[in-house]
Amino acid sequence: MKLTHGPIKTDEIKLRWLILGELAAWIGSSFVWPLTSVYLNKQLHISLSMIGVVLFFNCAGNILGSMIAGRLYDRCNPYPLILWGLGLGAVVLFIMAAFHGWPEYWIWLTITGFLSGWDGTLINSIATSLKKYPSRYVFNVFYFSQNLGVVTGTLIVGYLYDYSIVLLFIIAGALFVIAFINAAINYRPIINFSKERSNKEKSGEKQKAQPMPKRNFMMTITFLTTLAVTWLMYMNWESNLSVYMVSLGIPFHLYSLLWTLNAGVIVIVQGILTRFPHIFKNLFHQIVFGIIMFSLSFVTLIFAKDFPHFALSMFILTLGESTAFPAIPAYVNELSPITSKGKYQGAIMVASGIGRALGPLFGGMIIDHAGYIPFFTVAAVIIFLMVLLLIPMYEKLRKHLTIYK
């Protein structure tokens, strides 16, 4: 395995400011997506099938924003790009506070999906410029921050939704204003990083667009495929599983409680991984462990008939989510040349977005034709097949991979 090291910079963005931006943006975003289905169906009387279309557009916008932002990060100064993304995010949320009827809500939600993909890709890409910390540590901290934001946001939504949906959008917009101000003040070192990168390209020290080595590319594609397939199945926890649990006589509020459990376990596991980053020998072992846990969670669903068994399945699923999902972007970062960091961080967001967009449809088709138990079986088998793809691919390529530090 070849190593390509970069110098540790003393003027790079402080990790705490990236975390603050990530946390504020995720809390703000978590004010919007949990209430969408309930708000559209109960208050605007939109059909569930139409809500599915709206959510698909949100995911499609996310994918498009990720693709464009990743490409632009590698070619342009990221500083104004992230300011535009966070600033427009605040503007759209304030507009939603005033105009949240139908069909304008559909338009705003599509735009927020685009900006979410834009901001997420840029912040992840900016994180790859940090040399003070190992990428494993950085992305574990990021994943911790994201889920802390989700826990906080969804908790506040539960209390404020019945009081005022307008207030929710105003608070969400204010959080994006905080993220914008934080970026404007504290992300300026990325300008110097961009200038240095541009000077190297002009001087010929590096190629303008250094291609990812072939074996690195093969490994990256394998990771992206695994990520998309895992999200394809995982999204059914957020969509179809609620119907299944209610059909078994389990109250809906207990289904909601599963997501509180999910968020809590993620925060705990990420705290442990951040404090003890070498629990796993390397990032690949962490990824494989996580994917196996995903598969096992669907195996346990086959036998789940009461809430304690569903809680056990959620716990196993969360072990997979909190280990595999932050490790994949960290490893892809190490496989990516300096001139294509943004491109491949964007590709990660695209792979996730494709799985999220198609997951409920894929699961719904199997459930409609065969039932829930066959779907759980199919999901467990397909996810485990990803493990059988990952391990031999890694063993074949690992000695020939170029690692960019």
What domains are there in the chain, each with its CATH number?
Answer: 2-404 (1.20.1250.20)
Q: What average pLDDT does the segment 159-165 reach?
A: 74
The mean of the pLDDT values for the chain is 83
Q: What average pLDDT does the segment 249-276 reach?
A: 79
**pLDDT tens, residue by residue, 229-240:** 999 999 888 767
Q: What average pLDDT does the segment 132-138 reach?
A: 77
pLDDT surpassing 90 at residue 385: yes
- Lookup: tokens for 353: 């977005």
- Of 250, 241, 376, the C-alpha closest to 302 is 376
- Lookup: tokens for 113: 């999906």
Q: Contact 138/330 with Cβ under 8 angstroms?
A: yes
Q: By mean pLDDT, which of 24-33, 72-81, 147-156 is the weakest? A: 147-156
pLDDT surpassing 60 at residue 204: no
Strand partners, 404: 4
**pLDDT tens, residue by residue, 336-370:** 887 787 788 878 888 988 888 788 778 878 888 88
Q: Contact 390/287 with Cβ under 8 angstroms?
A: yes
What is the spatial distance between Cα 351 and Cα 232, in angstroms, rounded to a whole number?
Answer: 10
pLDDT surpassing 60 at residue 8: no
pLDDT surpassing 50 at residue 7: no
- Of residues 200 and 381, more confidence is placed in 381
Q: What is the pLDDT of residue 6?
A: 47
Q: Residues with Cβ < 8 Å from 349, sequence gap 6 or more?
A: 62, 63, 66, 70, 117, 120, 121, 124
- Of 246, 226, 239, 229, the C-alpha closest to 55 is 239
Q: What average pLDDT does the segment 30-38 reach?
A: 70
What is the spatial distance between Cα 250 and Cα 252, in angstroms, rounded to a whole number?
Answer: 6
Threshold 0.85, pTM exceeds: no
- SS3 of the chain: the string is CEEECCCCCCCCCCHHHHHHHHHHHHHHHCCCHHHHHHHHHHHCCCCHHHHHHHHHHHHHHHHHHHHHHHHHHHHCCHHHHHHHHHHHHHHHHHHHHHCCCCCHHHHHHHHHHHHHHHHHHHHHHHHCCCCCCCHHHHHHHHHHHHHHHHHHHHHHHHHHCCCCHHHHHHHHHHHHHHHHHHHHHHCCHHHHHHHHHHHHHHHCCCCCCCCCCHHHHHHHHHHHHHHHHHHHHHHHHHCHHHHHHHHCCCCHHHHHHHHHHHHHHHHHHHHHHHHCCCCCCCHHHHHHHHHHHHHHHHHHHCCCCCHHHHHHHHHHHHHHHHHHHHHHHHHHHHHCCHHHHHHHHHHHHHHHHHHHHHHHHHHHHHHHHHCHHHHHHHHHHHHHHHHHHHHHHHHHHHHHCEEEC
Cα distances (angstroms) measured from residue 155 to each of 28, 151, 264, 336, 359: 12, 6, 12, 37, 25
Q: What average pLDDT does the segment 127-141 reach?
A: 78
Q: What average pLDDT does the segment 37-43 reach?
A: 72
Q: Contact 313/297 with Cβ under 8 angstroms?
A: yes
Q: Which residue has the tokens 């376990």?
A: 265
